[in-house]
A and B are shown apart, each in its own frame.
Chain A
């Protein structure tokens, strides 16, 4: 019996502490969760709440001071001016387009890595997917900016293949392509994880019962990997929703992030910026609730 429990120094004190914690589960929770939670609450949530409270304040133009009285003026401005709605719809539209494209592009590669590749090939693919993340975010945006100029790589290929010159330089198309490129690894990894977790036995059973490939995919595989897809989509959607740098560099229209950024500078209109920031937050809240229902949180 003595050989099973190793003799460690301070075993007594440790065992007693361990037993104590075992009998007092709340203590365990407190210990493990205390530090991170405090950090989070104080630094992150605190800052957020402070910012969002600012949304209910207003900027007094005459003194350019922020007046801390409760007011809904900012929301009135956002509602009455059509441009904010246009910008929001544009941003959400592109975010949705980017998300769908990323899922479509990720799926074959994730499937290949999870189910068709040898372990060595799988490793190579996973490294290949993660590596672009190391090529700095800004550099990847500029790579596309360079490639999309009229005498850049894309047009060169287009002319070679007879597609003629594509005027993509600075446009919503450029923004869409760039976003798709930026978030592809983030979308792919959870889908890969979901595909990898899927037990072969279920698929075998399905085909034993006479289902063809497509039916198996639709009825068996898809529901199983849906949480993974939902998880991957969170990244693509939310990262697009709030980004202002990409539209600034390759786009020619305003996105939600640009408007927020513009109001924080010389204008000093933090209340309006904070109010408009509530829009993507609200959109993400709805999105996250939906994703949670699909089981995305367990698939992250």
Chain B
């Protein structure tokens, strides 16, 4: 369909974008091995001493578990509430439906600092102690939105004929959900969960205002990134996180990526077969 010329142009453009995306990351990785703490390029000497320094750093050992815990719980929370909300908005027509779907875009659409100050204000005023719990509350807010978006997008693409067919065959609500609906949206849930986990693990603005003195990885990075002497350790932590997360992201994408077209093709084939 596309002319050869167009195809070439597109491929070139795609390559440029990919290079743009990855050059800074490569630089970060290289600087993790930089012997000097200066910033100039090209790098003169390489070393692995920062890796052991990071391994022994008290702060890293404190921040990493905190971040993992917060991200996991916030994601779980978001999975439950986000999926529920997606089902409700997709399936039912009720008063305020538009308002609800609008409200659920707000946490991502509004500037982070507004959310941060609002939550900080409330937490201060109601005397809730700052800590892991308040961070989770802050993170869950936008994690819910991410999961909701992913699930409802998939729900919209899943033909309702499947659900109807299931009901026609005598399955009740729960069975339909378990055997028909859930498999169709499973990968969307995984994609949403992954994105939510990434957002939570990465979050700094809301965390700064809701964490109190609890250390998370982004807070650790924020504290130390600005001091040239501590920067190399931060580079190492960044590299470690990328490597660690590569595996689950890869597998999750494998699950979520291919099946969009597959689901549609199967659905289309099923409908054709029915006719």
Contact = CB atoms under 8 A, between A and B. Distances in A.
Q: Say if the two chains contact directly (CB < 8 Å).
A: yes
Interface of A: 4-6, 8, 11, 14-15, 18-19, 21-22, 25-26, 28-29, 32-33, 35-37, 39-40, 43-48, 50-51, 54, 105-109, 111-113, 115-116, 119, 122-123, 125-140, 142-144, 146-147, 149, 151-153, 156, 181, 184-185, 193, 196-197, 200, 203-204, 207, 213, 216, 234-235, 238-239, 241-245, 256-257, 260-261, 264, 270, 273-274, 277, 280-281, 284, 287-288, 292, 297-300
Interface residues of B, number: 105
Interface of B: 1-3, 6-7, 9-14, 16-18, 20-25, 27-28, 31, 39-42, 80-82, 84-85, 87-89, 91-92, 94, 100-115, 117-119, 121-122, 125, 137, 140-141, 144, 149, 152-153, 156-157, 169-175, 194-195, 198, 201-205, 217-218, 221-222, 225, 231, 234-235, 238, 241-242, 245-246, 249-250, 253-254, 257-258, 260-261
**Best-surrounded residue of B1, B12, B24 (most CB of chain A within 10 A):** B24
B228 to A, nearest CB: 10
Contacts of A134: 198, 201-202, 241-242, 245-246, 249
Given A126-B253, A127-B249, A184 B119 contact: no
A168 to B, nearest CB: 14
Given A136-B218, A238-B111, A109 B82 contact: no
A136 B238 contact: yes
A106 B17 contact: yes
B88 A146 contact: no
Nearest to A49: B118
B88 A33 contact: yes
Contacts, number: 293
B172 A153 contact: no
B109 A284 contact: yes
Contact of A107 (B13, B144, B231): B13
Given A260-B117, A280-B114, A300-B153, 17 more contacts: A5-B170, A29-B94, A36-B82, A47-B119, A50-B118, A108-B10, A112-B10, A122-B258, A127-B249, A127-B253, A128-B18, A134-B202, A134-B246, A135-B242, A138-B221, A139-B235, A213-B6
A113 B205 CA distance: 32
Nearest to B84: A32
Nearest to B205: A245
B104 A281 contact: no
B24 A257 contact: no
A33 B125 CA distance: 28
30 contacts: A11-B172, A29-B88, A29-B94, A35-B81, A36-B84, A48-B115, A108-B11, A109-B13, A109-B14, A112-B10, A116-B7, A116-B11, A119-B258, A127-B253, A128-B22, A130-B195, A132-B25, A134-B202, A135-B241, A136-B218, A139-B225, A139-B234, A139-B238, A140-B28, A142-B234, A149-B39, A185-B21, A193-B260, A277-B111, A277-B114
